[in-house]
Amino acid sequence: MNPPDGLLGVLQFYANFLQTRYPDILDDTGRHLMISGIAVAGGALVAIPLGIYLAQSKVKWVQSFVFTCTNVLQTIPSLAMLALLIPLFGIGPKPAIFALFLYSLLPILRSTFAGLNSVDASVLESARGMGYGPMQQLFQIKLPLALPYLMSGLRMTTVYIISWTTLAALIGAGGLGDMIVSGIGVNKKELVFTGAAAAIILALLADWLLGAIERLTASKTRSGNAVG
């Protein structure tokens, strides 16, 4: 059934649609968050330790090799990446999560590496003079000072991944992209609008939440520097 003419009629039609389909909307939203969350969490678990290692090692060719590999992954179009992973993982959430995990690596890796390298050399020199060893410098000085950079990378990555997860529907992974694809297939504008709007709202909420955490960590870092 097509929506009636007039703003009031459209709003009433859409309200009835939401009332009827809200269980499906909630289910797709939950699956969307699951796919995005697993991908970002996996990327953080790999990229943060790797960024720490690269910043600590100072071996230029290793840094160049790792960043080149992650840059190459970033340049692969998302649909091509999903198609390449179907023979390995089949159809469903697994190839989508793995593809999004690969896309999450570079921004988190770059922010971790940049954050650790941004620490003032005079601060580290003072720490060494106070008897701090390499691990103490890392965990007590470098990582706390690099935390705002790290949170900025996680924030940007999470927003991108939530947006890109809509493509997971093309390989049967589910999520809010299902509503968009189904709506296009049967020419139901309310499905397309709901799927797209929900994905945008999720991305904005994630950006707001992680932005608040980022500002909090930056504030604590400035306070710690002032006390020091």
Ordered by start, the domain boundaries in the chain are 29-227
Task: Inform me whether the pLDDT recorded for 179 exceeds 60.
Answer: yes
Q: What is the mean pLDDT of residues 180-202?
A: 92
Chain-wide mean pLDDT for the chain? Answer: 88
Distance CA 207, CA 113 (A): 22
Regarding pTM above 0.85, the answer is yes
CATH topology of domain 29-227: MetI-like fold (1.10.3720)
What pLDDT is stored for residue 123 in this prediction? 83
Do the beta carbons of residue 108 and residue 154 sit within 8 Å? yes
Distance CA 175, CA 196 (A): 11
What pLDDT is stored for residue 222 in this prediction? 59
Reading phi first (left if > 0) and then psi (alpha if -120 to 50, else beta), residue 187 is in left
Buried-state track 147-175, b at ≥16 Cβ within 10 A, e below 16: bbbbbbbbbbbbbbbbebbbbbbbbebbb
Task: Inform me whether the pLDDT recorded for 124 exceeds 90.
Answer: no
User: What's the pLDDT band for 137 if we cut at 50, 70, 90?
Assistant: confident
Task: Inform me whether the pLDDT recorded for 224 exceeds 80.
Answer: no
pLDDT tens digit string along 95-109? 999 999 999 999 999
